[in-house]
Structure 1
Amino acid sequence: MRKRIAIVGNGPVANETAPIIDSHDFIIRFNDCRSFGSGATRTDVVAVCNTGRPAKKMLASQEWRSHAGIVDASEIWSVRDPEKFAQLRPALALSHPELDDLCDDYTDQFTAFCTETGKRHTVIDKTIHEAVDKTLADYQPAPYVVPSSGMIVIGNVLDRFPEADVTLAGFGHEGWEWHPFAAERKLVDSYCATGRVRRLGRVASHAT
């Protein structure tokens, strides 16, 4: 039987879809698990931005550490390979000096958190990031800094579990101005058209 994976973004998720999400074998959420509750509650993996302000804020927050979704998860996935972001830093210092802390790396702190709480910590390899960049180029993205966490996780899941039945919920492909959301939407639509993933319910109005 094919493994059934749900990737649940931080956009709105219809309450009636919660039982469908919870029925999956493997459920992935993001950062502060905003989808938790209306978007079901089972959580196997929390994918986190492990660099910059989001990482710093999560690690400093007792509320984040004690959130039911974080507590229940058996794995934390860091979506930003430290080596890749170290490579990006010099160019970003010139092109986007306002993002001077984007590449500040907190991976070791997430490793420590996972050690303390008995979770597995995985850093998504930079090859996934680079493959996503390459594929997005076919959709003529506007200038951007990095793909969204959601797009990196989708790429990672399709790479690691090529035979899985992958469902997306809570993805609206909107948010931070330096993610290529328009191109990401087109790429995900192409995956849906070929059966690599499917969307659950309507496309949400906010992104991961």
Structure 2
Amino acid sequence: MSRVIMIVGNGEVPDGAAATIDAADVVVRFNDCRSVGKGGNKTDIVAVCNTGRPALAMLGGGRWKTSKPVRQARAIWSVRSGAKFAAMRAKLAVTHPDLDDFCDDYTAGFESFARATGRPHRVIPAGRQEGLERDLARFEPPPYVVPSSGLLVIADILSSFASDRDDVVLAGFGHSGWEWHPFATERRYVEALASEGRLRRLDQSSFSDLVPRSLNHVL
């Protein structure tokens, strides 16, 4: 049975999209799930940036852990490989000394949280980022540090989570933000995937195409 897999970034979501997003079989959100509200409420997977300041902020203080979308999620995914980021530390110390805490690894904290709350925790493998960087190289990106968490999740879902029959839909991806993600190149890459029919973007013209399906699937 095919599924609708909705990947919802923290960017602008089309007006009236909430019900359509909530009707998907699987809804993936990111970090503090700022997409909740206008972007619906259903949350099956929370994909987290598990290194650096964002990770420290989420794990500290308890607000992220007790938020409604995080409590609702049935799985936690850590987007970054701790070992790969540890290997990047020496180079970044030279090229980007202001990112001294960028490679600090908090994966164990997310794993402990997931275990304590009875949910699976998964780390996207380092090879996924390496493969994505090779794909991005075809578009001649400017100098950057790493691909965005959103693009890593898109690549991972297309490679190892979605079947050929699944409908992978993006919402809330404006491809803008932190200066050291190659956002303009990521936009071109996503458009190429869309032209190949591997995914599509959610817009108002497609709302009626997405219908509720069975929720009895395995994350």
Report the Cα distance in structure 2 between the residues aligned to 1:123 and 1:80, rounded to whole angstroms.
7
1:129 aligns with 2:110: no
Report the Cα distance in structure 1 between the residues aligned to 2:109 and 2:123, rounded to whole angstroms.
12
One-letter amino acid of the structure 2 residue matched with residue 200 of structure 1: L
Structure 1 residues 176 and 154, CA, compared in 2 at 3 Å: closer, same or farther?
same
Q: CA shift at 1:65, angstroms?
A: 1.0
Superposed CA RMSD in Å reads: 1.0
Aligned positions of 1:88-107 closer than 5 A: 88-107=88-107
Aligned to 2:203: 201
Aligned to 1:183: 185
Q: CA shift at 1:157, angstroms?
A: 0.2
Aligned positions of 1:48-197 closer than 5 A: 48-160=48-160, 161-163=162-164, 164-197=166-199
Report the Cα distance in structure 1 between the residues aligned to 2:62 and 2:12, rounded to whole angstroms.
24
1:8 aligns with 2:19: no
Q: CA shift at 1:83, angstroms?
A: 1.1
Q: CA shift at 1:7, angstroms?
A: 0.2
Report the Cα distance in structure 2 between the residues aligned to 1:13 and 1:62, rounded to whole angstroms.
27
Q: Secondary structure at the match of 1:65?
A: coil
Structure with the bigger percentage of helix: 1
One-letter amino acid of the structure 1 residue matched with residue 175 of structure 2: H
Q: CA shift at 1:14, angstroms?
A: 2.7
Q: Secondary structure at the match of 2:144?
A: coil
Aligned positions of 1:9-28 closer than 5 A: 9-28=9-28
Q: Secondary structure at the match of 2:65?
A: helix
Q: Secondary structure at the match of 2:16?
A: helix
Question: What is the aligned residue count?
Answer: 202
Unaligned runs of 5+ in 2: 205-219
Report the Cα distance in structure 2 between the residues aligned to 1:83 and 1:166, rounded to whole angstroms.
29
Report the Cα distance in structure 2 between the residues aligned to 1:4 and 1:91, rounded to whole angstroms.
40
Q: Secondary structure at the match of 2:134?
A: helix
Report the Cα distance in structure 1 between the residues aligned to 2:163 and 2:155, rounded to whole angstroms.
10
One-letter amino acid of the structure 2 residue matched with residue 185 of structure 1: R
**TM-score by structure 2 length?**
0.90
Per-residue deviation, residues 135-181 of structure 1 (Å, max 9, x unmatched): 00011111000000000000000001241210000000000000000
Report the Cα distance in structure 2 between the residues aligned to 1:116 and 1:141, rounded to whole angstroms.
41
Report the Cα distance in structure 2 between the residues aligned to 1:61 and 1:36, rounded to whole angstroms.
21
One-letter amino acid of the structure 1 residue matched with residue 172 of structure 2: G
Q: Percent identity?
A: 51
Give the number of the structure whose alpha-carbon radius of gyration is greater. 2
Give structure 1 regions of 4+ aligned residues with deviation exceeding 3 angstroms.
Answer: none
Q: Secondary structure at the match of 2:63?
A: helix
